[in-house]
Amino acid sequence: MDLKLTELNLEVQRIANEFSQKTLKPLAREMDRKKNFPRELVSEMGKLGLLSGVLPKRYGGKDFDYVSTALAYEEVGTVCSSTRGFMTVQIGLVAMCISDWANEEQKQKYLPKLASGEQIGCYCLTEPEAGSDVAGMKSFAKKTENGFVLNGTKHWITNGNLADIALIFTYTDKEAKHKGMTAFLVETNSKGFNRKKMEGEELGHRASDHAFIEFKNMEVPESCVLGKVGDGFKIAMGALEHGRIGVASGAVGILRGCLEASRDFVRNRKQFNSRIGDFQMIQANLAEMKVSYEAARLLTFSAALKKQAGENSSLETSMAKYFATESAMKAASDAVLIHGGRGYSDEFPVERFYRDIKGLQIYEGTSHIQRIIIGRKVVGKP
Ligand SMILES: Cc1cc2nc3c(=O)[nH]c(=O)nc-3n(C[C@H](O)[C@H](O)[C@H](O)COP(=O)(O)OP(=O)(O)OC[C@H]3O[C@@H](n4cnc5c(N)ncnc54)[C@H](O)[C@@H]3O)c2cc1C
């Protein structure tokens, strides 16, 4: 594995770092407190190319590669997981999925607007009765003469209330199980597409938008099908492979955020006539964070390089997501402890990192599910 960052990698990292430190950092705590995701951020990220993923220029992209995209997620994740989560859905779950599966007309119609931030996308897979077990979904699209009629509900849909387009997964043939699912690319102003905010106060990602969506006799033309009828499961899993690199990189960002905040804190805070950073127990915590950060980053780059080479990266992506989110969970817990009482309020960002990281362990396949994927690959079970 060649780990030397290229000129392109360094340039994308620089752009993302400048955006994160200068624009996002001063806003992140207020966004979390007000539970608000400013629309202007989307346009700004679009202008900077931070929503382009690996899209080529002919579809409004910047010809970035997977490592550059991972670096952009890391920089943003260091400051605000709600914004990094927005990016991962917009790029990984929606734009890259359209890029992999859509026909030319759909690509021309949607990709440039997603890359520029003119349009927002959401990915509608999870249902109240179907989370980890996607096959448990109840949503159904009935074939009609001109297209399909969709009925069903989805929940926890990130960007769902903001989105202009929705990638929706339903059964079209329940008997065929995984081979009976179909993906639809639908405009959210379609009649029968109803949405509202998720009920309840959320632990983290408080600036993110999460929606409950209902399709009620929603008529869509045949041209809304993404890929082919029956390809839905493959398409949903392919999108998650893109998205999980984004989540792993976001967790790497949280690891770095915890490490940097804790380092700065322990250099200044004095107890027992000494900087707390001079105590070996505190140094041990920081050493663990540093090793976890470097290891999680290498696993994430390894997944990104595999994807860049056009190879199946489901094992590497799951390993990166699993390790990065689990170690960031531990780092965030330690970072709050290291800050003592101050870590318990949002005076310091570690409090928000501690709440946000739990979401990364859950969405796009929980840590249990990642271990199932990895374990099956190890023993050779399909
Ligand atoms: C902040 C946030 C954003 C999200 N954004 C989106 C989005 O944009 N689009 C979308 O479609 N969904 C989204 N989700 C939903 C998310 O993907 C699901 O919550 C997740 O897949 C888990 O499903 P579930 O909540 O139904 O839990 P369940 O599947 O019911 O799982 C409950 C528990 O059982 C465990 N479990 C389940 N099956 C097994 C098994 N076979 N072996 C061992 N343990 C198992 C799980 O790991 C978990 O611990 C989001 C969720 C959150 C919290």
Cα of 65 vs centre of ligand 1, distance in Å, is 29
Whole-Å CA distances, 29 to 56, 191, 251:
34, 37, 18
| Mean of pLDDT values over 5-28 | 98
Residue 2 pLDDT exceeds 80: no
Tokens in use for 74? 């890391």
Pocket flag, ligand 1, residue 369 (CB < 6 Å): yes
Pocket flag, ligand 1, residue 89 (CB < 6 Å): yes
Q: Which atom of ligand 1 is nearest to the CA of 126?
A: 11
Residue 3 pLDDT exceeds 90: no
Mutate to test the pocket of ligand 1, among 132, 197, 209, 376 (most ligand atoms within 8 A of CB): 132
pLDDT at 296: 98
Pocket flag, ligand 1, residue 376 (CB < 6 Å): no
| Mean of pLDDT values over 22-34 | 98
Pocket flag, ligand 1, residue 359 (CB < 6 Å): yes
Whole-Å CA distances, 335 to 30, 39, 258, 303:
21, 31, 6, 27
Cα of 77 vs centre of ligand 1, distance in Å, is 21
Domain 240-379, what architecture? Up-down Bundle (1.20)
Cα of 359 vs centre of ligand 1, distance in Å, is 10
**Residue 169 β-bridge partners:** 183
Cα of 131 vs centre of ligand 1, distance in Å, is 5
pLDDT by residue (tens digit) across 137-170?
999 999 999 999 999 999 999 999 999 999 999 9
pLDDT by residue (tens digit) across 292-330?
999 999 999 999 999 999 999 999 999 999 999 999 999
Cα of 240 vs centre of ligand 1, distance in Å, is 13
168 Cα distance to chain centroid: 17
pLDDT by residue (tens digit) across 104-114?
999 999 999 99
Contact 197, 212 (CB under 8 A): yes
pLDDT by residue (tens digit) across 252-266?
999 999 999 999 999
**Residue 167 β-bridge partners:** 123, 185
pLDDT by residue (tens digit) across 223-251?
999 999 999 999 999 999 999 999 999 99
pLDDT at 66: 98
pLDDT at 329: 98
pLDDT by residue (tens digit) across 279-296?
999 999 999 999 999 999
129 DSSP assignment? T
Pocket flag, ligand 1, residue 125 (CB < 6 Å): yes
Helices (H), the chain: 7-18, 25-34, 39-48, 66-77, 81-87, 96-101, 104-116, 232-268, 280-308, 314-338, 350-362, 367-379
Which pLDDT band, with edges at 50, 70 and 90, does 1 fall under? low
| Distance separating alpha carbons of residues 29 and 27, to the nearest angstrom | 6
Domain 122-232, what architecture? Beta Barrel (2.40)
- Could you tell me the residue ranges of all domains in the chain? 7-120, 122-232, 240-379
pLDDT by residue (tens digit) across 51-104?
999 999 999 999 999 999 999 999 999 999 999 999 999 999 999 999 999 999
Look over the chain and give the mean of its residue pLDDT values, rounded to a whole number: 97
Mutate to test the pocket of ligand 1, among 87, 363, 372 (most ligand atoms within 8 A of CB): 363
pLDDT at 273: 97
**Fold category of 7-120 in CATH:** Butyryl-Coa Dehydrogenase, subunit A; domain 1 (1.10.540)
Burial 130-160 (b: 16+ CB within 10 A, else e): bbeebeebebbbeeeeebbbbbbbbbbbbbb
Strand, coil or helix: 364: coil
Sequence-ordered list of residues with C-beta below 8 angstroms from that of 243, at least 6 positions apart, any chain: 88, 89, 92, 93, 123, 364
| Mean of pLDDT values over 213-218 | 97
Residue 382 pLDDT exceeds 80: no
Residue 331 pLDDT exceeds 70: yes
pLDDT at 293: 98
